[in-house]
Structure 1
Amino acid sequence: MTPDELAGVAWHVSSKSANGGPQCVEAGPLADGSGRVAVRHSRRPDADVIVYTRREWESFIAGAKDGEFDFF
């Protein structure tokens, strides 16, 4: 994605992160109205970004809520 495509993203850090923590993940919806969600490393905001479709993001959130990713 280009910096212009990411310019309107309202980045969010989980409230479960301790003060943004040293290695946090930020996520936010793209401003283009597509429903896609961008994800990046908060300490490296100019590095690569992963973009998920709305369906992929909703599936991930549903899995997280169901405990699918409770590894520990």
Structure 2
Amino acid sequence: MNHFEDVEWRKSSFSGTGGNGSGNCVEIAALSDGRIAVRNSKAPDAGTVLFTRSEMDAWIKGIKASEFDDLT
């Protein structure tokens, strides 16, 4: 069951651009308590990962610094 139906989900502009037709779709939503929710838009009821603002900030900084490039 999706407990986040009342939030505004935003899809990454890079979703589905892998070139292999996989249609990977990542969505995020800012929650009223300050956390950030992340889910797979193709399977929204499969689970949602929650981050604090500081956790999301660290994640984005790591991505921008290319710390996870070896995973793609």
Which range, TM-score by smaller chain? 0.7 to 0.9
Q: Is the 8 A contact 2:29 2:38 kept in 1?
A: yes
Aligned structure 1 segments of 4 or more residues deviating by more than 2 angstroms: none
Aligned AA for 2:12? S
The alpha carbon displacement at 1:10 in A equals 1.6
Residue 46 (str. 1) matches residue 45 (str. 2): yes
> Within 1, Cα distance between the matches of 2:50 and 2:43?
16
Give the unaligned 5+ runs of structure 2. none
TM-score, normalised by the number of residues in structure 2:
0.75
Which residue of 14, 17, 26 corresponds with 1:16?
14
SS at match of 1:46: helix
CA RMSD of superposed structures (Å): 2.2
Q: How many residues get paired?
A: 67
AA of the residue aligned to 1:24: C
Within 5 A, what are the aligned runs for 1:30-45?
A: 30=31, 32=32, 34-45=33-44
Q: How far off its partner does 1:23 sit? A: 2.5
